[in-house]
Homo-oligomer: A and B are copies of this chain.
């Protein structure tokens, strides 16, 4: 029951981007990977998913790199987690014996609270 390393990296990368916001315009993956102590090719893969969801902006070419989009303050920790790990669910119901099942409902409740918790956290709070 863990957040994946990929999400871990993504959150840290976001945190760093946020921390540098205003000071620097674009950060190449090399620099980010250096900060996070992870291979740059791997981090590329992770960040590509954030780009696809528009949570960061990528610029190819010399002097390019990653930066935050205009609406970055709206991005939540939940958004990042889902972008990397996919929709988060605590419980995979193999059968679904109907709506009234207590086990299912119980898990859903805790799950919903967790999702709420992550949604309430903006990436702005990461630094």
**Chain A residues within CB distance 8 Å of chain B:** 1-4, 8, 11-12, 15, 77, 85, 88-92, 94, 102-103, 106-107, 109-110, 113-114, 117-118, 121, 125-127
Min distance, Cβ A53 to any Cβ of chain B, angstroms: 18
Once bound together, how far apart are the Cα atoms of A60 and B121, in whole Å? 51
Are B90 and A2 closer than 8 Å at their CB atoms? yes
Judge whether A3 and B102 touch: CB under 8 Å.
no
| A106 adjacent to B89 (CB under 8 Å) | no
Q: Could you list some 23 contacts between A and B, CB below 8 A?
A: A1-B1, A1-B4, A1-B88, A1-B89, A2-B89, A2-B91, A2-B92, A3-B91, A3-B107, A8-B91, A8-B94, A12-B103, A15-B102, A15-B103, A77-B106, A102-B125, A102-B126, A106-B125, A106-B126, A110-B117, A110-B118, A113-B117, A114-B117
